[in-house]
Structure 1
Amino acid sequence: MDSIRSTSLRPLSHRLRPLAYGLVAVIGLILALTWGALQVQVTLAGFLNGESIWSKAQKQAVIDLASFAETGNAERLAGYERNHELLVSDGWARDAIASGRYDREAVNRAFERGRILPAAKPGMIFMLSCCTSVTHMREAVQAWRAADRPLRELDAIAAELRQAYAQGRPSPEWIAERLAGINQINDELTPLTNLFSLEVAQGAIWLGRVLFLGVFLAASAASLLWLLMARRILFQIRGTEERYSLLFDSAADAIVMVDEASDTILGANRTAMQWTGLDMETLLRTRLSELFAPLQHRADGAVTGDLLGPGGEARPVEMRSSVTHWGARSVRQSILRDITERVNLEQQRRIAAEALAGIAEGVIIADAERQVTRVNAAHIRMTGFTAQALQGVRFDDLRSLPDGSPLPDSVWKAIDTEGNWVGEVRSRRLDGSSYPELLSISAIRDPDGQVQHYVAVLNNISTAKANEQRLQYMAAHDPLTGLSNRAEFERRCVQAVAQAERERGMAAVLFIDLDAFKAVNDSYTHAIGDHLLVKVAERIAYELGDRGVAGRIGGDEFTVLLSNLQSREQASAIAGRLLTTLAAPAIVGDYEVALSASIGIACYPLDGSDVPTLISNADAAMYAAKTEERNAFRFYSPRMQADARRRIALASELRTALSENEFHLVFQPTVEMRSGRIVAVEALLRWRHPRRGEIPPGEFIPMAEKLGLIRRIDQWVLQAACTQMYLWDRAGVPPLRMAVNVSAHWFGQANFVDDIRALLESRRLAPERLMLEITEGAILRLGEEMERTLYTLNALGVGVAIDDFGTGYSSMSYLKLRAIAYLKIDRSFVTGLPEDSSDGAIVEAMLTLCRNLDITPIAEGIETEEQHRFLLRAGCTEGQGFLYSRPVEPEAIVQMLGAERRAVSPHLRLVPPEV
């Protein structure tokens, strides 16, 4: 809050100061006169008190001396001497003070003997030394001095009596004579004493009147003078107040007086009432803060805000305040100035400055000679040149056309005619380097049309050009391998086909698909798979050189374009070299991976006249190579397209198979090899196509995985298997363990175990009766997620079997997990038993591993009695295969488990154990 000083030559406090001084003087004079009167009254009281004591002492002295004369009593004589000494001491003090030469201590002792009031001593001394000639005081002192002689005569009588009694008792006549003398002296002293008392009393009355009159006259004169001075000063103040009121009400700024404690308005001028639209009565009931929108305090002490006017209109004002005092009340004077115009100008300047400083584009402002006068921060960041560094420099001297030539005169002619020029230039930085720049130049003209300033807006387009090149590259290349993507490959194919058509030549498209790449992903993680794809791309590009264009169109599928061919043999030669190159083991990280590829070839114009047809036919030829042999290449033939169309149709029909309820389950028993007892069944999925009949899983499961339908199929299989167990339980079938194959797509989901638990509870099945089969490749691919899922399943009570153990990339560490309760020995190891010693050794090793780890082994694909005997001797617990039963319908399982199962089910041929 500002402290605003008065502009008057004499502030109000200074102008009232003489009035205050006069009042103080009047009061001081009255107090001084009153104090003097009190002192005179105290002095007179001292005189009266002394007179009373002196009179008593005189009378007592006469009485004591007369008694001593009659009786000769020594005590009476001592009393007389004390009183006489007091009378003589008072007279001495009186005369000593009147002479002006006296011992102050002796006088004080005399006053103490006379019992004079201490407060009256200074006044009595003053009056005895200076006022003995004043009326009544003069007569009183004369009467006091006249008593000195009788007192001396009385003392002479006392001396005679003292001497006479010292010699014996005097005669009665002599005593009577002395008593007569004492009485005569007493008669002389009594009138003098009464006269002294009378004069002192009259003097006190006279002096009191004089003092009252003096105080009255002095106070009246002083008061009159003070009133005259006050009248003159108040006239001056009234004139000043009128002038102030005139200025207050006619001020262009709004002025309000506010109570500092309550913030209530105590007064306001006309301008304040006009701005607020309120009358004075309403304003006096209003708090100042209620008239404003939120206020902002500035560092210089001023306050800014919006003053609310009639109809809610807001007026920006600046308020400065100073604090004064009206009596005991602290009052704040606030002056409100309309700053609408200033706010608008500041806002415009701020917007212009912020726009200039904040825009990302660099801005140069130059004079009519094109010499730089101002630049913004973006220009400094782009070029390093500040406005000071460019003083006296023409901004076009630092720029040239992209080819290095200076800006031509046509630029300035375009600005003169059109007012603006935009183009790409090459700009130089402070360090001497250059960069591409998009420059826009405009002219600012005066009212006469003359150029006053040039405004140049510039953009560094280095990043934009680099991004454009990068986007063009990304739009045409695969982000992982750097090979051409599908769009770019097809564009290059279009060019090659057009060229071949013009030159009557030949072009070929090679479609390359890696064999068993999914197993690599499942076994080594996708990161290793991606690195392997990069290696494959490098090998393809290296082998092709500049003889063709390589592309990656998705997953592990690559394409090659060969143009300017003379014969199909050239394409087959390149395909053979590619197969050899890709078959070589690749080092990826810490692993050595061996792969092969299948290649399909389609040639223009024999195998297709347009690019989509060529690529589709090459894909069909690749599928034929993969199906028939792998690690081989095939040229396209029309039959292959028919197979491709069949696969496409199958993919479309697979999407509706679930909703149309075309899937069903068959069950293959698992027997206890020693007793022949059926202990479990494995649920196997079959697709009963309405037109094609039964489609084997090996044909549609890979397609389901590619289409992302495998999880939904897994869920359907598990629900159907659990429902079948529930139906068997209701039919009284002995409880069996149900084995269900689960893919990694569902097994790795966060809610997998919760789905299993809910399904078992809904079917009222014990968790121990369910066994989930998953391949070891899926276990390796899922990593830690798999391990957590296995632990949760073990806690739930559901057993897990590793399927196809030993056929992929094994990791023995997972066999230590408690959830792994079963190990299924793949049919590839069982088929050669017992003749193949290698298969026998591998199977025996697996069985030994199971015994040591307490895992139940299950052998798959048992078809002969010899295989059964070998596995039984080696210690295999359970077996599954055509020797016991093929996959059958649910009703057949019921019959097998019934009392007549051996007669009803001829396929179940249990081999008794050898002794």
Structure 2
Amino acid sequence: MRLEASHQQPLSRRLRPLAYALVVVVGLVLTLTWVALQTQVTLAGFLNGESLWSKAQKQAVIDLDEYAAHGRPGDLAGFRRNYAVLLADREARDAIAGGDFSHTEVEAAFARGGVIPEAIPGMVFIFQYFSGMPYVREAVAEWRSVDTSLLELATIADRLEEGYRSGSLQSGDATAERDRIAALNDYIEPRAKAFSLDIANGASWLGRVLFFTVLGVAALASLLWLRMAQRILAGIRGTEERYSLLFDSAADAIFMVDRESGHILDANDRAATWLGCARADLTGVELASLFVDGSPESGEGLLRDVNGGTRPVETQSSLVAWGARQVSQAIVRDISDRVAMEQERKIAAEALASIAEGVIIADADRRVTTTNAAHVKLTGFPAQALRRTRFDATRTLADGRPLPQTLWDDIAAGDNWLGEVESRRADGTTYPELMSISTIRDRDGRPQHYVAVVSDITARKADRQRLQHLATHDPLTGLVTRSEFERRCAEAITRAAHERGAVAVLFVDLDAFKVVNDSYSHAIGDALLMRVAERIRAQLAPHDVAGRIGGDEFTVLLADLRSREEALLVAEAMLAALARPFDLGDYELFVSASIGIAGYPLDGNDAVTLIANADAAMYVAKTEERNALRFYTPKMHADARRRLKLASELRQALSRNEFQLVYQPSVEMKSGRIVAVEALIRWRHPERGQIAPDEFIPIAESLGLIRQIDQWVLENASRQLVAWDEARLPSLRLAVNVSAGSFGHPDFLHGIAQALRVSGVHPKRLLVELTESAILRLGEDTQRAMQTLHNLGVAVAIDDFGTGYSSLAYLKLPAVAYLKIDRSFVSGLPMNANDVAITEAMVAIARSLDLHTIAEGIETEAQHEFLLRAGCQEGQGFLYSRPLPPDEIERLLAPKATKGKRLSLVPPKRA
């Protein structure tokens, strides 16, 4: 049996909606009044912006005219400043007109234009939605009409600035520019006045519109309130029906329960829906039976439906007067979302605990509230020990300074911070740490929590240091490179200048090292160089420096000397050490060395000069005696001047067209067919004849000319390939060598793309040959550069593989498609077991990585047959052809026309 509520509501409660409606009407009128005021503020902003814009325009013209007349930088700065105001307003206007814009950027642009901040949102709204209303449409049209003239003023300013800076501006030019400025001002000024008049008229018109709008809305709202009052008064009689409606439409399940028996007297529709039964079926049922563990008067529980399903709920009970009886009203709320959220929060907490990086959560005062297990393992600090301590208390910058306040200011302003810090463990030890700090903000945008993610970068720093060591040290001998040697030499010279001391540089060159390479192999030569480096290091003090700056050329830096003559004992000991026989397994080699000595301050004031003068002294020792040493004297400078002259002539060789290209064919091993050519540069000196690349390429690298030379080779070789195509020769692949200096240059990739675009050569026909040292020199940018080459469609060949760092990681880089086997391994084939094993391993690696193999330096049929059997695809060497000029390549490839027969390629002649 359903019981009806019979209690009557007080009249004040029944009239309460009418009071609320009155409040709404008043609020609506006040809101419209506020909108009108805001619109007036916007119009004031329009007028203010127009005034600033007009002033900025006029002052810009004045400043530019003054700058044209006198060339004062202050006038130009004034023009730039005022023009920036004009440009900011125009950028905001055009961005809004475009439709797709960022409100933040537009408002920032108006702010730079001087518009009052309170008016900016209204201006954006009007420009976006009401740009076609009366007067605004005309004002915007007047504004746009001067855009071109203002842009021309900026162009005039640039021309004047360039003229004054270069000194090329004549009096007549300045007068002409001033006349043009005046003409532009004559065009702009009346339109600026018309713009101002339209804005003023628009403000007046819109004020009238707003007044009548507010008046009309107020009248309409009052009429609606009166009608509502009539309806409410007429509906007071239906209070019980309204209560019933609210009861039945509640979002929560509501049960009216008899206090004594616990049986349900009434329930709303929501309760019936949740339980899956009719509303009438609930009357007389005990409320506790509907819950899994009984009915809680308050608290959480599980509500069970007729099908056995459960729903997590929260119950609140209260006593209410229902007519003449007191009953318990139980409101049951579905908390499924809250339970799911708590479950997600629990999962998030477990995920935080399982993250591999250390995580710190701190409050707004940077005091630790939570850390995860990884942080505990990383630092040794238990989470409880760090609670309420500032997490930056155990961290400093890498140089030992505390984390600066500016860092926290930047983070508070909205920036995330990522950087290296030095972190202290619980045992007092420190380690380098990469820390990222971000913020969690409250509704007002203030930092509420800081979240820091930290990781130990000890191994990463060690790897970086190892790479830096490889970049500054010769991979074969472990000695420093030329650039690193020059840097340390410069530091020693600076120190000696302060302490009035001396520095000596020894230039060591092995005698007849080329004979060793030619008579044995490059592998034996490399082994000899490593042993030589060991003996040189053995003669040095800990603070001395040894470097390898060429094939068999070494330099030694002796610092903290009183005079250069003190270097004599070290040089003599070094000569004696290098004169002893070298046991290289199957060979015992005897070599000697020539040493030149130059010292600061007698022989030079900088590292380059000292090395050059020591080189000159070494040259004299080698030419006069060998296995000897010489101190530098000015008379030795003739040879150095000759080399300097060669360097000077090298600078002009490109412009004088003294370089030429020859091409060495690359032959398919199985068929003997020529499939590619490698472009090689030669220098035809007008006086000295042919100069080998080994002589001028190192000079070009030291002078920074190697990039221009490499680009010249690329462009001319591409044009030659096009010429062969036009001559209907067989399609060839073109290989060009790129030096480390060119590969590391920012314009290298652009130069490749430009040469392909200009010549029209398909990218897949171009092969860029790089040595491992060139790839190593680029460092972290290698992946990006290789990916760009791969995107262009250009393939890369690793040249001289196995003679340098020999990292297999290089073979996995994008664009790497070819592997060149160095001649030092080919020369020992097929008799040398080590060369056989290394070559077969390289071919196997290339095959597994789907790389194309090319062998260099093939000179015998036995080498050819071995490489063919091993699976090498291509070969180069004197067995097939020496490097040839373009016309001989053309004759070599030109098909022979035979009557009644198809054309075929001329096979290469083998020596």
TM-score where L is the length of structure 2: 0.37
Structure showing greater radius of gyration is 1
TM-score where L is the length of structure 1: 0.36
